[in-house]
Structure 1
Amino acid sequence: MLNAERHNLIIERLKRNGSVKLMDLVEVSGSSESTIRRDLAELEEMGVLKRVHGGAILGQDRTIEMSMVEKSVTNVQAKKGIAELAASTVVEGDCIYLDAGSTTFEMIDFLRGRNITVVTNGLMHVEELVSLDLDAYILGGKMKARTKAIIGAIALDNIANYRFDKAFIGANGVHLIDGYTTPDMEEALLKRRAMSLADETFILADASKLHHSHFAKIFDLADGVLIMNQVKPEEKSILMKKTNVLEVQE
């Protein structure tokens, strides 16, 4: 198979699946492992993909973020499972921080009827919380139109008035070296501040976020408990060396 043909094969599989495995490419192309590794290195230099252990994932713009509407229809079942497990950690009387995001939003229905107090920077979140008659506070500040998240200096100043039993934080990327990341620096700063004000911090992220790294670092993997849907045993083993993991049983 020619060099260009192998590149096209790799790109087509990436576009279809979002990731490729090195040994699968070796088998389907009839090429040597060293040849495929060289192909992946060349495509990474071109910005097409990002190499990870055992393969590659589709390249990404580190500053682009999906809208709340786009997020809400992506990996829905995984997010509901993560949200239910996260909500099970909340006890009566807790004061919690609920970060803006589609997975944290899914938690709200599982908090129905609970005697808790919720602080959030999510516009959609506070509306849903109030509709379920839960005690809710929203941070002031600048609202991002795409994600309906309140951010900025005013929000950072506002959140300093609270202390939380638990903070539930969303992340766009979960990376073994880079930690938890998000495309927006202002959101990262607010998430980091919420973590510092909480006795316990939980990060809600579905398995598609693994090995992704975005522009702004939130904090290290060791700074919170990761709640995630099922991942491969070898990946879980590596994650467990970096952080505590609560895994949804599917």
Structure 2
Amino acid sequence: MNFQQRKRLIVQTVEERGSVDVRDLADLLQTSEMTVRRDLVQLAAAGLLYRTRGGAMKVSLATDSHRFANKTAVNSERKDYICQLAAQEIQEGDIIFMDCGSTVFRLCQFIRNKRITVVTNSLPVVAELLSSDVSINLVGGEIDKERQAVHGLIAEEHIGRYRADRAFIGIDGISLQNGLSANSEKEASITMAVARQTEKVYLLCDSSKLETDKYLSFAPLSLFDVLITDTEANPDIVAAYRQAGVTLVN
């Protein structure tokens, strides 16, 4: 496959998925990761995509990559699949934590008719569930306008007053070697606070985040009880996680 053919497929894939990593592109194009990286450099220089650590994303998302609506739209089909599996774990009468992750937000559509209580620091989750059968407990504290979420010491103290049957949390990166990682200390501290107050922690993680490390490594794999991902996860990586003792559902 020549460069023009690869270029067309790379740009098409990035447009469809919002973001994609080098490994996935190499598999799709049946070429080496080194070739993909060279192609991404040229395509980024031409303004056709935005290079990220380990891959590329749509330019329209990169201009404001932390806006919640953009993050929610990336890999939406994978996220919905993960959340359908997660919803099956929730029982009537449960008290659950939901963090401000874009994957966790998509769980809302599958729990609207459940008589449960949701404790959350996510403003979009609250807005989505206001007209549902769900009872809502909004965590108090300072609002991060970009993330549309509540963070900070007061938020962590609020979470510490409650106990939940289950927690559903997102993550920016996860790897067997370095555990869980985040793009900011704020989100890492909320995740830790939630995990301390929960009987069973579910990590909702689309397959693009498996074996990736972000800015801040903050917890071992033992922080969560179940990892739920999608069917596009690399079978070798899935096997390695299970061999390491991780309960993985996909």
Query: What range is the shorter-chain TM-score in?
Result: 0.7 to 0.9
Aligned to 1:84: 84
Matches within 5 A, 1:182-201: 182-201=182-201
Q: Distance in 2 between matches of 1:65 and 1:212?
A: 18
- The within-5 A match list for 1:1-250 is 18-20=21-23, 21=26, 24-25=31-32, 57-58=54-55, 66-224=66-224, 225-230=226-231, 231-242=233-244, 243-247=246-250
Greater CA drift, 146-155 or 174-183: 174-183
Q: In 2, Cα distance between the equivalents of 1:26 and 1:155?
A: 42
| SS, match of residue 131 in structure 1 | coil
CA drift of 1:101 comes to 1.6
Contact 1:93/1:115 (CA < 8 Å) preserved in 2? yes
1:228 partner amino acid: T
In structure 1, stretches of 5+ residues that fail to align are 1-8, 30-38, 40-47, 51-56
Secondary structure, in 3 states, of the residue corresponding to 1:125?
helix
Residue range with higher mean Cα deviation, 178-187 or 209-218: 209-218
Alignment partners' CA distance in 1, 2:138 and 2:216: 23
TM-score by length of 1: 0.76
Deviation at 1:217, TM superposition (A): 3.0
The amino acid that maps onto 2:197 is L
Report the alpha carbon displacement of residue 188 of structure 1 after superposing the two structures with TM: 0.4
Percent identity between the aligned chains? 28
What TM-score does the superposition give when structure 2 sets the normalisation length? 0.76
Q: CA deviation at 1:128?
A: 1.3
In structure 2, how many angstroms separate the alpha carbons of the residues matched to 1:28 and 1:123? 42
Residue 47 of structure 2 is matched in structure 1 by none
Q: Which one has a bigger Cα radius of gyration?
A: 1
Q: Secondary structure at the match of 2:188?
A: helix
Structure 2: unaligned runs, 5 residues or longer:
1-5, 15-19, 39-50, 58-63
- Which region of structure 1 is more displaced relative to structure 2, 238-247 or 159-168? 238-247
Superposition deviation, residue 93 in structure 1: 1.1
- Residue deviations 1:76-97 (CA, integer Å, cap 9, x gap): 1100011111111001111000
Indicate if the aligned counterparts of 1:65 and 1:183 stay in contact, CA closer than 8 A: no
CA separation of 1:59 and 1:127: change in aligned 2, threshold 3 A? closer
SS at match of 2:66: coil
